[in-house]
Structures are given as structure tokens and as C-alpha cells.
């Protein structure tokens, strides 16, 4: 119960709830916040003054509404689409990881490479590298990078390739040739997954990666890695690719559902405030 908590914890909870309401509304009077949260007006005014003094909200001089400041918006800078996707995908990865046993990763594109956002490596008995979250994978040489390139819209793909060309990493050059990259990505599109099959990058392992396709493009990829000598490629393809594609589709559906719920909540918030 709210009344059973220490005063400092209760005040912090109320302050965060008020900050969320200000952020959600885009601009709101103190009295409306009090009514929506069921808090006394003096309490709301006191906490708004505290937040204003700390630089997280500002009162409009024209209509007495409170709005969040750039400092408050900076709090969300670390919560990017990759973080959001990882939060939604955790249970999905756990399910597919249990079924396939070999390690499964969730990756997304960032600054010309793929970043591991979530993984089952720590829970897989077949993992040889348990510290994968945050690891960077090369775009042209990893299965997830190839999946992203194969299925992402052309403008984003061309911009990413231009970035790699400017960086001119020697390891990428054999794959960057049009006569190599074009057929490779065409094969990925035909098979519905990115693939890395016993190549120079991590030569003892192979990998498949299924793209997470949303209305905005490729949000990320779900990939699996196995020791090549332990499983023939044809058997691995039959065993791994369908579950990876199903997992990617589940994650995409969860992301789109969350977006729809946020849009509905935002529309309801606007409708609830007749002054907006």
C-alpha cells in the first residue's frame, strides 16, 4: 500500500508518476495531473516545483502548463529501439533457445555493425562465449549483418555500405565486391535468412539469422551459432531456420502490438484533456 512505504520512497514514486504524466501529455496543468493521479493539489505543486528546480520540467509563461525539458528527454536517450526490442524479445529467445539448445542471439544494426542486444549464451550448455551482450559483429561477415543487408530497404542498405566503404576494413574487402555481395544477398533473400557457413570469420562455427521485419524495415535479427563440425549445414538448416523465422515473426508482432498500444494510449490522453 502507498501509505505503508517510507515517505522518501512514496515521494519518489509520486514524483516519477508526475514526470511520466507531464511527458505523456505534452503539456498539462497541475490541477489535471492531480485529478488524473488522485493526488492532493498541494502535493502535486510541491513535486512539480522540485522537478522544475532540478531542471526536468518547465512551466509555460502563457498558459501555466508544465512540459518536460531537454534534460528530461535525455533520460530516454539510452532506451533506443534495440533496448526496446530486447525487452520484448527476452521470453521469445528463452523459448527458442530451450528448443534448439545451441546459443541464440538478438542483434540490431548500429553504426555500421550489428550489436548483440540479448542472448541465450549464458543458458546454453553448448556456448563457448557467455559474455556476448554488447558484442559487435561485422556487417558483411556475420549472418545477422547479411540478413539485415539482404532485407533492409535499399536506401538504408546503400548508406550502410557507403559507411563501410569509407572505413575500408581489409577484412571486409573480399565481400564488398559487387560480384560477391550481390549474389550473397540474393541467396539470403531466396532462403529467407542470412548465413555464415564455416568462413574465415569465426572459422570453426556457422550461423543462420532470421530478420525481424516490421513496417519500418528490419528491426533486428534472431541468429543461432553452432560448431560446424558438430552438425552438417543441411541438417542445421532444416532444424534451425523455421524456428528462427517463427521467433523473428513473434518479436515483430510484439513490437507492433506495443506501438499500437502506445498510439491508443496517446490518443486517449489527448481526448481526455479538452484544452489540448
Average pLDDT over residues 24-51: 91
pLDDT digits (tens, 9 = 90+) for 250-259: 999 999 998 8
Half-sphere CA count of 54, side-chain side, radius 13 A: 13
Q: Which residue has the higher pLDDT, 81 or 167?
A: 167
Q: Could you tell me if 8 and 25 lie in one domain?
A: yes
Last residue of a domain, one of 21, 54, 76: 76
Is residue 234 included in any domain, yes or no? Answer: yes
pLDDT band at 61 (very low <50, low <70, confident <90, very high): low
Query: Domain containing 21: what range?
Result: 2-76
Q: Could you tell me if 113 and 247 lie in one domain?
A: yes
Is residue 266 included in any domain, yes or no? Answer: no
Q: Could you tell me if 59 and 143 lie in one domain?
A: no
Is residue 275 included in any domain, yes or no? Answer: no
Q: Could you tell me if 59 and 85 lie in one domain?
A: no
CA neighbor of 222 nearest in space, from 186, 257, 194: 194
Q: Could you tell me if 129 and 218 lie in one domain?
A: yes
Q: Is the CA virtual torsion 10, 11, 16, 18 positive or negative?
A: positive
**3-class SS of residue 132:** coil
CA distance 267 to 71: 25
Q: What's the total number of domains in the chain?
A: 2
Span of 2-6, 41-45, 152-156, 219-223 with lowest mean pLDDT = 2-6
Q: Grid coordinates standing for 229?
A: 563440425
Is residue 62 included in any domain, yes or no? Answer: yes
Q: Which CATH number covers residue 230?
A: 3.30.450.40
pTM exceeds 0.75 for this model: no
Is residue 23 included in any domain, yes or no? Answer: yes
pLDDT digits (tens, 9 = 90+) for 126-170: 987 777 888 899 999 999 999 999 999 999 999 999 999 998 899
Is residue 155 included in any domain, yes or no? Answer: yes
Amino acid at each position: 500500500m502507498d501509505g505503508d512505504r517510507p515517505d522518501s520512497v512514496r515521494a519518489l514514486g509520486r514524483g516519477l508518476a508526475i514526470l511520466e504524466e507531464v511527458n505523456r501529455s505534452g503539456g498539462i496543468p497541475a490541477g489535471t495531473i492531480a485529478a488524473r493521479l488522485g493526488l492532493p493539489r498541494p502535493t502535486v505543486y510541491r513535486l512539480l516545483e522540485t522537478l522544475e528546480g532540478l531542471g526536468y520540467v518547465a512551466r509555460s509563461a502563457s498558459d501555466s502548463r508544465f512540459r518536460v525539458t531537454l534534460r528530461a528527454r535525455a533520460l530516454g536517450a539510452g532506451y533506443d529501439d534495440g533496448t526496446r526490442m530486447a525487452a520484448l524479445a527476452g521470453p521469445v529467445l528463452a523459448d527458442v533457445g530451450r528448443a534448439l539448445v545451441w546459443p541464440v542471439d538478438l542483434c540490431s544494426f548500429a553504426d555500421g555493425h550489428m550489436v548483440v542486444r540479448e542472448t541465450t549464451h549464458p543458458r546454453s550448455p553448448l556456448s563457448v562465449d557467455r559474455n556476448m551482450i554488447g558484442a559487435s559483429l561485422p556487417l558483411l561477415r556475420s549472418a545477422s549483418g547479411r540478413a539485415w543487408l539482404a532485407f533492409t530497404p535499399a536506401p538504408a542498405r546503400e548508406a550502410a555500405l557507403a559507411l563501410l566503404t569509407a572505413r575500408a576494413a581489409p577484412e571486409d574487402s573480399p565481400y564488398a565486391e559487387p560480384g560477391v555481395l550481390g549474389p550473397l544477398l540474393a541467396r539470403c533473400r531466396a532462403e529467407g535468412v542470412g548465413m555464415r557457413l564455416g568462413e574465415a570469420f569465426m572459422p570453426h562455427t556457422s550461423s543462420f539469422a532470421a530478420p525481424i521485419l516490421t513496417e519500418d524495415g528490419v528491426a533486428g535479427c534472431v541468429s543461432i551459432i553452432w560448431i560446424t563440425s558438430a552438425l552438417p549445414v543441411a541438417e542445421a538448416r532444416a532444424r534451425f531456420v523455421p524456428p528462427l523465422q517463427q521467433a523473428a515473426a513473434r518479436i515483430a508482432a510484439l513490437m507492433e502490438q506495443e506501438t499500437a498500444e502506445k498510439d491508443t494510449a496517446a490518443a486517449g490522453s489527448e481526448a481526455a484533456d479538452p484544452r489540448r
